[in-house]
Amino acid sequence: MTRTADSYIEEYFSSGTIADLPRDHFIGGAWVAPASGQMMETFDPGKGRAYHSFAAGNAEDIERAIKAASSAEKEWGRMKPSARGAILAKAAELIRKESAYLAVVESLDSGKPLGEAEGDVGGAARAFEYYAAAANALQGESFPLGHDYLGYSQPEPVGITAHIIPWNFPLSTAARGIAPALAAGCTVIAKPAETTPLTALLLADILFRAGLPAGVCNVVTGTGPEAGAPLVKHRAVRHVTFTGSVPTGINVMREAAENVTRVLLELGGKSPVIVLADADLDAASDGVIGAIYENAGQICSAGSRLVVDRRIHGELVERIVAKVETLELGHGLKRSQFGPVNSQLQLDRIAGHVDRARERGLSIVTGGNKATDPATGEGWFFAPTIIDNVPADDPAAQEEIFGPVLVVQPFDDEAEALDIANGTAFGLVAGIYTSDFSAAHRLARDIDAGQVFINEYFAGGIEVPFGGNKHSGFGREKGLEAVKAYCRIKSVAARIG
């Protein structure tokens, strides 16, 4: 008997919580209370109120998860890849079957509108479907050593992998790291963000019910310093996948270096959306709005800079402002178009960036202030904001704000567009809107970013490798590239004649 999203939503608004949400760590195929006995609270950003408590993990809990993962390593790593794939496929099926519950919990914990959370749940299912198939396709090579020799390589799982998950896409980021790691035959310990712990726990339980052996996928909740740091520092961990901020990524890399543990870092961005004068302005304005206001701008790959040809600058900004001012703010579970930001801390960080931009005399053409749910006066909202004519070296054009703040940077020619686009410390993604095929591909060639979208921001899916250049990190998630992160190559050379 599956319940509808509406029945969970009704339960939440009438009781202030949802019954039977997970509380404990998921270790060795079971719910495990925190070693310290301590719990912490998770908040509904749409109300700014705590609604549930969960395990505050520490080094002792990490140690338990390491033990569970170590004892599961052989069985999982030696299982026939097709059998591993079948379990991942079953997990995808369960994710789809339980999608209403997962989406409601994701929306509630992160604040994002339910429609976006539903998209994320679909994305998580796609990741498991895709890597279920990829598990079968892992293969080595043979090397031409001549008649008397045999040379070949074989991918091996790297071992225990740690996954440090951010709060902006709690479920889909967990899925895009965990699915390829499992496909490769690795074991997993995931540490979700302290403000959004729930859907990673639900995912671990789904995997277990799909037939994953106990201990192969474990989730330990808690803060970064108390639960995350002991995990990435642990010498038994052979790979760390980290998605989050640049300073924390640098710390994680430093900590992993002590044990020569490999890292994959997906950090911030300040991604440009370049709009040429010949672009379809309807598509471009919708694209820009999705690029910066989806998830209230809390997306590493948000299109946070509109780099626009001066000849259409006024008209495009006008169109965008007109549409933005119709966005309906509201609690995520009320299926709003624009939700709150994830935490009070993040709200204050965003407001700080915008206040400083105002003090520097920049022109804020819409938004620029904190807001609340108009229905209740509650919640951690920041109004969709546009800052126009921002100089290339201004902090508003250089620093990642991680909120619903678009800066506009006009240009006069293609060379200047490229200079502006490439002129930050980041290099995650870029968008291009134009009807000129050659211009689009010239820009795509010359842009310093890991992924380029042409005429549809966020085009693509799990099939397309994703990751950054410069301070945006290194390594690629998604696509077949991602599986390589979780494999090490063994090569064998033999004299046989």
Catalytic annotation, residues: 266, 300
245 binds, among Mg ion, ligand ADP, none (CB under 5 to 8 A by kind): ligand ADP
Q: DSSP letter string over 197-263?
A: -HHHHHHHHHHHHTTPPTTSEEE--S-IIIIIHHHHH-TTEEEEEEES-HHHHHHHHHHHHTTT-EE
Residue number of the CB closest to ligand ADP reads 224
Minimum distance, C-beta of residue 312 to ligand ADP, in the bound complex (Å): 35
Residues 6+ apart with CB under 8 A from 270: 304, 305, 397, 398, 399, 400, 424, 425, 426
232: contact with ligand ADP by CB under 6 A: yes
Which of positions 182-201 make contact with Mg ion (CB under 5 A)?
195
Out of 29, 177, 180, 228, which residue is the one contacting ligand ADP (CB under 6 A)? Answer: 228
Give the E-state strand segments of 117-229 in sequence order: 142-143, 149-157, 160-164, 187-191, 217-219
Residue 447: contacted member of Mg ion, ligand ADP, none (CB under 5 to 8 Å, by partner type):
none
> Are 214 and 68 in contact, with CB atoms under 8 Å apart?
yes
Q: Which of residues 177-196 bind ligand ADP (CB under 6 A)?
A: 191, 193-194
Binding part of the chain for ligand ADP, among 116-124, 222-230, 388-396, 410-418 by CB under 6 A, reads 222-230
**Is there binding between residue 383 and ligand ADP (CB under 6 A)?**
no
Applying CB under 5 A, does 54 fall inside the site for Mg ion?
no
- State the DSSP code for 466: B
Residue 14 amino acid letter: S
Closer CB to ligand ADP, 61 or 194, in the complex: 194
Q: Which of residues 34-53 bind Mg ion (CB under 5 A)?
A: 42-43
Residue 188 binding: pick among Mg ion, ligand ADP, none (C-beta 5-8 Å cut-off by kind): none
From Mg ion, ligand ADP, none, which one binds at residue 460 (CB under 5 to 8 Å depending on kind)?
none
- Residue 171 and residue 190 in contact, taking contact as beta carbons nearer than 8 Å: no
Query: Which partner in ligand ADP, Mg ion, none is near 224 (CB below 5 to 8 A by kind)?
Result: ligand ADP
Question: Beta partners for 274?
Answer: 307, 432
- Pick from 83, 90, 101, 102: nearest CA to 128: 90
What are the helix (H) ranges across 325-463? Answer: 344-359, 395-398, 414-422, 437-446
Write down the H helix ranges in 16-113. 59-78, 81-97, 99-110
Give the integer Cα–Cα distance in Å for 21 and 215. 21
The number of residues that bind Mg ion (CB under 5 A) is 4
Residues 138-177 that bind ligand ADP (CB under 6 A): 164-166
As a whole number of angstroms, the distance between CA 405 and CA 399 comes to 11
Interface with ligand ADP in residues 236-265 (CB under 6 A)? 244-245, 248, 251-252
Binder of residue 42, out of ligand ADP, Mg ion, none (CB less than 5 to 8 A by kind):
Mg ion
Question: ∠ CA(441), CA(307), CA(339), 5° rounding?
Answer: 110
Which stretches of the chain bind Mg ion, using CB under 5 A? 42-43, 109, 195
Which stretches of the chain bind ligand ADP, using CB under 6 A? 164-166, 191, 193-194, 223-225, 228-229, 232, 244-245, 248, 251-252
